[in-house]
Chains A and B, each alone.
Chain A
Amino acid sequence: MNMQMTDPEHRIDSLDRRIIIATQDGLPLVSRPYALIAEQLDIPVAELKQRLQRMQETGVIRRIGVVPNHYALGYRANGMTVWDVPDERIDELGEQIGALDFVSHCYHRPRKLPDWPYNLFAMVHAHTRDEALAHVEQIAKLLGAHNRAHDVLFSTRILKKTGMRLNP
């Protein structure tokens, strides 16, 4: 992949890229993980720290922390909920739904009429399908009359999942 992002705000250089590749499978679980990564990359640890900090500020890195595997923790019901809401209200409504604790992603996407009338997407995670459907009800209630149509697409199989990766 290109080393520079098209979007200038999220531009990364070749060292950022090496840092991403060195850490994308996780930090080493040792007492001084950053020192070890810095040593592998042959850069001062202060530089590594400053770059991780900056990538968090620009949003290239969304967060650094423990990444649980929700499926392994029993979150087996994964529903992509899709909603048709008025475009002029979508920012306000999207922010409310994105803040719900059972929603992991919430995006505005374009409609494709006549086949696809939905412009708001919210991923809902639950232990069971019934629990997920209760979450859907909660979103529907929150949207009220702004909800002109909605649907839930449960996943039946994960056919591929590699996450965002840079290739060395």
Chain B
Amino acid sequence: MGRQRQKKDRDRQTRLEHHLLNDFQHGLSLSPTPFADMAEVLGVSENEVLTTLQQKKQEGVISRVGAVFRPNGVGASTLAAMAVDKNEIERIAEIINGFDAVNHNYEREHEYNLWFVLTAENEQALAEVIKEIEQQCGYEVMSLPMLEDFHIDLGFDIKWT
């Protein structure tokens, strides 16, 4: 294969990847063959779509192809923050991460340096988990439940660099 041809194939593959990642973050067809539907829009074969998605998933560039659930979909949830002594972050984070109710935990640059999302079956269970975390950690939790969601989630427009 000539160099020109190779470059052309590479460019084509890159373009296909960009479209697959950017254009199909919502509204996946519920028809029997959603990937063939994607292929038709892009003017490629279903096999190319499937192979590329499988490869991107393996590389970790795609987390999955599927549903994104409402963040506070089940029961009660809150964003919790804690102002922890810098030398204790690892120890405290480990305690927090041990709770099943915690599904995100980020360290952030601020006096409030640990930020985690808590979900529980209902408000009462949530309050109990917060109390339990405070007792085990020896730090107070600042609980900031969502009052309103202003974002219509259609995915996120990727700017390629």
**Which residues does A use to contact B, with CB under 8 Å?**
1-2, 5-6, 10, 20, 23-27, 29-35, 45, 49, 52-53, 55, 59-70, 72-74, 78, 80, 90-91, 94-95, 97-99, 101, 103-110, 112, 115-116, 121, 125, 127, 151, 153-167
17 A-B contacts, Cβ less than 8 Å apart?
A: A1-B74, A29-B65, A31-B33, A32-B32, A62-B70, A63-B68, A64-B26, A65-B65, A72-B61, A80-B108, A107-B149, A107-B150, A108-B147, A112-B142, A116-B112, A158-B106, A159-B114
Q: Decide if B63 touches A110 in the complex (CB within 8 Å).
A: no
> Which residues of A sit under 8 angstroms from B63, Cβ to Cβ?
26, 67-69
> Which residues of A sit under 8 angstroms from B114, Cβ to Cβ?
159
Q: Decide if B145 touches A109 in the complex (CB within 8 Å).
A: yes
Nearest CB to that of B66 among chain A residues? A26
B143 to chain A, nearest CB (A): 8
**Which residues does B use to contact A, with CB under 8 Å?**
20-21, 24-28, 30, 32-36, 46, 50, 53-54, 57, 59-71, 73-76, 79, 81, 93, 96-97, 100, 102-110, 112, 114-116, 119, 121-123, 142, 144-159, 161
Given contacts A26-B65, A29-B35, A157-B106, contact A73 B70 (CB under 8 A): no
Given contacts A31-B35, A80-B115, A109-B146, contact A65 B28 (CB under 8 A): yes
Q: Decide if B66 touches A104 in the complex (CB within 8 Å).
A: no
Complex Cα–Cα for A45 and B24 (A): 22
Further pairs besides A34-B32, A164-B73: 13, Cβ < 8 Å: A2-B122, A25-B64, A27-B34, A61-B70, A65-B155, A66-B20, A70-B156, A78-B106, A101-B156, A104-B151, A158-B105, A160-B93, A162-B104
B140 to chain A, nearest CB (A): 10
Q: Decide if A63 touches B153 in the complex (CB within 8 Å).
A: yes
> Which residues of A sit under 8 angstroms from B36, Cβ to Cβ?
31
A33, A64, A99, most chain B CB atoms within 10 A? A64
> Which residues of A sit under 8 angstroms from B76, Cβ to Cβ?
6
Given contacts A66-B65, A116-B144, contact A33 B34 (CB under 8 A): yes
A32, A62, A112, A157, most chain B CB atoms within 10 A? A62
Among A25, A107, A110, A157, point to the contact of B66 (Cβ < 8 A). Answer: A25
> Which residues of A sit under 8 angstroms from B73, Cβ to Cβ?
5, 10, 60, 164
Nearest CB to that of A35 among chain B residues? B32
Q: Decide if A163 touches B156 in the complex (CB within 8 Å).
A: no
Q: Decide if A127 touches B161 in the complex (CB within 8 Å).
A: yes
Among A20, A98, A125, A165, point to the contact of B151 (Cβ < 8 A). Answer: A98
Q: Which 6 A-B pairs have the closest CB atoms?
A: A26-B64, A98-B150, A94-B150, A63-B26, A160-B105, A98-B151
Q: Decide if B66 touches A73 in the complex (CB within 8 Å).
A: no
Complex Cα–Cα for A34 and B62 (A): 20
Complex Cα–Cα for A137 and B33 (A): 44
Among B30, B70, B115, B157, point to the contact of A49 (Cβ < 8 A). Answer: B30
